[in-house]
A and B are shown apart, each in its own frame.
Chain A
Amino acid sequence: METKNIFKGYLFIPLLLLIIIFITGCHSQSDLINKIYSNVQYPFPCVRILTKDGEVGCSSKINGGNSGELYLIDDNDALEDFLGGNNKNLVIVLDTNYFNKTIVQQIQSKCQGIFVLTDTKKSYSYSPDESYPLKKFGLYPNSEKIWNPLGDSFLYGDVPIPIFALDLNTSIAAREAGGLNKKGTKPTWGAQFDSFMHGGFDTETCLRRGFCVPIGGKSIWTSFSPVLNQEKEIILVMVPMDTNAYFHDMAIGADASTFAQVILISMVETFSRMDKTSWNKEVIFATWDTERWGYIGSTKFVDDLLNFKCDSMDNTNPNQCNSPPYPDISFTNINFEKISTIIELNQIGRPEIVDNSTFQLYLHSLQSNSPLTKAFLDKQSIENTTSLIYKASKETELPPSSSMSFLKKNISIPTVIITDHDGAYSNPYFGDHLDDSDNVNPKSVFPTIISLVSIINELASGQPTNVSTIQLNEPFISQIYSCFLYSFSCNYVITLLDSYPYNTYPTFYSNVYGVNPTFTMITLQTQLVYYLLANITATQYSNTTCRDNSGCNYGQSCIAHKCITTNTHIHPAISLAFDYNYKKSAWFIKNDSYPTFVESNWDYTSARFYQMDSHASEAWFLVAGLLILATSILVIFISKRFLSKRYKLL
């Protein structure tokens, strides 16, 4: 009877355990957590992208993510030891030199996650992009050409573990912790990743389940004319705006496009102080978003120029279309047929240096002897004062560029794509987070602006430019340059934007388009470009304060809480592959010949470091606990029997 009671009593223990877990799980001890864990303030995760063919990128496990002991791989011995070992509960701290497709594929199945350090520079050139970036969405889908010989297509690989990049300070700390583990210091250091991605399988499935949002953004175009004259020919000066990198929040893409974007904004600023009365052509400056995902911004714009039809106009605002939802249809003033010249600034951050002091850029054009290329090539012969010259590329094909979207519709548009490479890319880190401010040549900024301003002025007015009339606003240019390439925290960020960025690491990843066509996203970076261009090209400033465009008079835009009159516009950049089903409230694939990149939803991403105990000591402690349990049961049982013979227990 006695023993029976014991067992009955013990039935309560699992119940009690459950209660403990429930109670203690409900309120966590934040103080204690802060003592145990040091969170990485700015984690740079690799996130999951889906295409119509499957998954790309990384994801952690769902509950609590992946965790393990740190293991530093900073030399070949460590790598070989790791590959030879059997411990699968390790988190790899990977020196940047070991971060490439080959090595990650070797270690990805044997570890819990990877931290990529950024405290040192890679000792070799590397590009995670394709060897011919975006070949199937370009003009030459069957080309044999290799533009990016360094590329190993790692960006489009699927990795089953989470990979995070660390900022400089955290990298130093992680390297130190990994080094301590290597030395065998106790307690060991561990880390935990949490970057669970909701989406999976492929684009169609993921959109249907509502776990993904199409990648997209906002293109921006501007003109100095208050209203475009539809009779005039159009010179389109454009750059791709967005960049890509394995870690989207680290996509500075300095040479890839950010340098060109700084040049474009600075050019517009320079033009704004020049006499433009002699211009007999319309000049449109445009930066296309989401170009790295298949020329989405430019393709969408061209498609809208050719095929846009508004079914239902807004009653109050003649510039707004309700169906399809376009808040701004000013682009209907642009006649595609009138686009007579396209000048695209592509990778121009690393011009070749000839004769010790002269920078040289390459012109890629299908019409090698057109007046357009001549205007560039003649520049050097006329004015020897400029320290930037152009050289026609020997390539017969155009390099991957936004112009292809226009040329697909009309191959005969005179086009020139300016790059710093003749054949294959000279950019050693195309599509990598190392394509940063160190990867471009800041000395070429001013000559490039002067040269381009003078050429475009010449093309627009038909008269030669007097270079002495070009006055650069050097403080402005320097500030924009550092803002876009070093730290996204300049004065313009503070004065023009409503919110200060959480992380000032500059990134121009295009982001997701939005959960539906009317509720779309715009990144702070795109906003800044828009506000800058709108402010620069504004023809009229008013003192009316506003919260959005509806607070301003017709024709005005609300820029940084002031109503101004400007011919600067935002254009949606979303793949033509997608359409929105209003009944099901979901995006769906309408035409999968266009890019079908979607980003998976995720709640948050976090990484944290901590010290941990060895498995063995934990196991021994459990044994000790069970021994104590057995001992106390035994002691109580025996002493009860013993005492009950001698004493009255109740």
Chain B
Amino acid sequence: MTQLLFFGCFFVAFAPIITFFFMVISKNSQLIILSIGGSFFWLVSALIASVWWFIIVPMRESFWFTIPFSIAFQEVFRYIFYRLYAWGFNERPSLAQIETLARQAAQEKRSRTTSAGDESMSDISAASSGVTNRSSSNKQQKESMNQQDLQSSFDQKQDSFASSSISSINNNDKNNNNNNSGNQEQQAVGQSSGKEEYPKDTEINTRLETLSARPNHTLSAAAIGTGSGITYAFIMYASILWESTGPGALFSESCPTVNLFMISALTTLFITILHVAFNILAFQGYRSKKYHLVLYVLLAHFAVSYLTLLNQKKSCIGSLVPITGITIFTVIFSIYSLLRSDSITKIN
């Protein structure tokens, strides 16, 4: 009978995050790896928070005391993961970057010579190796990643290429393939720009290449947030969700008429979305040194966590409505700051 409630709660709590995972994250192997990493780091922070909760025996029942530490651990691990991510990925260009670079190189070349067809292949190779050389020569003047802020502006493209080194790409042929395949995939999703410049190479498994392409920073941050969000939802909610199948339901003093499974489902829905948005914002803030974003994440995290305490005794409306507001604002804010940042590359 309450299978209804179980599936209702399941879809409410998990539908957006799992849909996002399957429709966006699972399209790229590196994103999946990042999301697994995100879930691992969130688990570690939860573990440390629970150890902390466990050893401070007198405060076990006082959640107001546990929450700040738990948030602190989560934010610390978010930063640690950011450092790890930056260390692992920042030195490497994204597919879009390579592609833009290659296109630019090809345009430069075309302006000099009027070759066509298969020659463009070697052009790209030349361009790529040229970039490699240039970047290695510019290595000394390589600046911190906040230079990527400027990446989106077309004028400073050269600099941004310099900052995002492609020295790791040793095999020019492979690099070539990568470019082509990425291009084909973009054609598939409806992109048309640069189609005539790059001939199709049907030999290449385009899907595989797309899967393993290096994603941009925004998607990476979103993937990490998705990983931690899904883990959060499973750890904190799935275990109580199972009980919603039983004939009984739990009602709290704050909401005597709406059962707690539903309230928790809605809270989980918002907090999973917040996990993604927070991660995008925080990574954005760390990367571009816009620390007001990090501060916002911290404050919003605190606010949402303390608002959930209202569920216990006071009022579930007073808890859910502000959380909804914060979620909507955070999502809009993260999109807004994203559009103003370098993380996303505009197509001309």
Asked whether B51 is an interface residue with its Cβ less than 8 Å from the other chain, the reply is: no
- B239: chain A residues at CB < 8 Å are 24, 27, 29
A124-145 contacts to B, CB under 8 A, are: none
9-residue interface stretch from A256-264, A308-316, A625-633: A625-633
Complex partner residue of A621 from B12, B18, B23, CB under 8 angstroms = B12
Asked whether A17 is an interface residue with its Cβ less than 8 Å from the other chain, the reply is: yes
Complex partner residue of B19 from A17, A35, A619, A632, CB under 8 angstroms = A632
B237-263 contacts to A, CB under 8 A, are: 238-243, 246-251, 256-259, 262
Q: What are 24 residue pairs bridging A and B, where the CB atoms are less than 8 Å apart in the complex?
A: A9-B23, A9-B26, A10-B22, A20-B241, A29-B243, A32-B240, A36-B248, A37-B248, A192-B246, A611-B250, A611-B251, A613-B249, A615-B1, A624-B12, A625-B11, A625-B12, A628-B12, A628-B15, A628-B16, A629-B19, A633-B23, A636-B19, A641-B190, A650-B215
B1-40 contacts to A, CB under 8 A, are: 1-2, 4-5, 7-12, 15-16, 18-20, 22-24, 26-28
Q: Are B19 and A649 in contact (CB-based, < 8 A)?
A: no
Asked whether A67 is an interface residue with its Cβ less than 8 Å from the other chain, the reply is: yes
Asked whether B46 is an interface residue with its Cβ less than 8 Å from the other chain, the reply is: no
A613-650 contacts to B, CB under 8 A, are: 613, 615, 617-619, 621-626, 628-629, 632-633, 636-637, 640-641, 644-650
> Interface residues of B toward A: which range?
35 or more
Q: List 17 other contacts, CB 8 Å, given A36-B246, A644-B190, A646-B346.
A: A2-B188, A9-B23, A33-B243, A33-B246, A64-B246, A67-B247, A68-B247, A610-B246, A636-B24, A644-B186, A644-B191, A646-B347, A648-B99, A648-B186, A648-B344, A650-B28, A650-B185
Q: Are A6 and B250 in contact (CB-based, < 8 A)?
A: no
Q: Are A618 and B238 in contact (CB-based, < 8 A)?
A: no
> Interface residues of A toward B: which range?
35 or more
State how many angstroms separate the Cβ of A497 from the closest Cβ of chain B.
37
- A12: chain B residues at CB < 8 Å are 22
State how many angstroms separate the Cβ of B273 from the closest Cβ of chain A.
10
Interface of B (DSSP majority class): helix
- A27: chain B residues at CB < 8 Å are 239
B177-229 contacts to A, CB under 8 A, are: 182, 185-186, 188-191, 210, 213, 215-216, 219
CA distance A25 to B240 in the complex (A): 10
Q: Are B20 and A632 in contact (CB-based, < 8 A)?
A: yes
Q: Per-residue CB proximity of A184-205 to B under 8 Å, as 1/0? A: 0011001010000000000000
Q: Per-residue CB proximity of A566-596 to B under 8 Å, as 1/0? A: 0000000000000000000000000000000
Q: Are A613 and B19 in contact (CB-based, < 8 A)?
A: no
Asked whether B286 is an interface residue with its Cβ less than 8 Å from the other chain, the reply is: no
CA distance A615 to B5 in the complex (A): 9
Q: Are B4 and A35 in contact (CB-based, < 8 A)?
A: no
- B7: chain A residues at CB < 8 Å are 622, 625
Known: A6-B23, A621-B5, A624-B12. A648 touches B247 (CB 8 A): no
Asked whether A5 is an interface residue with its Cβ less than 8 Å from the other chain, the reply is: yes
Chain B residue nearest to A610 (CB atoms) is: B248
- B238: chain A residues at CB < 8 Å are 20, 23-24
- B95: chain A residues at CB < 8 Å are 650
On A, residues with C-beta under 8 Å from B are: 1-2, 5-6, 9-10, 12-13, 16-17, 20-21, 23-25, 27-29, 32-33, 35-37, 64, 67-68, 89, 186-187, 190, 192, 608, 610-613, 615, 617-619, 621-626, 628-629, 632-633, 636-637, 640-641, 644-650
Chain B residue nearest to A6 (CB atoms) is: B23
CA distance A5 to B247 in the complex (A): 38
Q: Are B12 and A618 in contact (CB-based, < 8 A)?
A: no
On B, residues with C-beta under 8 Å from A are: 1-2, 4-5, 7-12, 15-16, 18-20, 22-24, 26-28, 94-96, 99-100, 182, 185-186, 188-191, 210, 213, 215-216, 219, 234, 238-243, 246-251, 256-259, 262, 265, 269, 344-347
Known: A29-B243, A67-B247. A647 touches B1 (CB 8 A): no
Q: Are B250 and A36 in contact (CB-based, < 8 A)?
A: yes
CA distance A618 to B246 in the complex (A): 13
Q: Are B213 and A650 in contact (CB-based, < 8 A)?
A: yes
- B269: chain A residues at CB < 8 Å are 628
State how many angstroms separate the Cβ of B97 from the closest Cβ of chain A.
9
Complex partner residue of B248 from A192, A622, A628, CB under 8 angstroms = A192
- B8: chain A residues at CB < 8 Å are 618-619, 621-625
Complex partner residue of A650 from B9, B11, B210, B250, CB under 8 angstroms = B210
State how many angstroms separate the Cβ of A310 from the closest Cβ of chain B.
56
- A610: chain B residues at CB < 8 Å are 246-249
Q: Are A25 and B4 in contact (CB-based, < 8 A)?
A: no
Known: A13-B22, A35-B250, A637-B23. A649 touches B216 (CB 8 A): yes
3 closest A-B pairs by CB: A610-B248, A625-B11, A622-B8
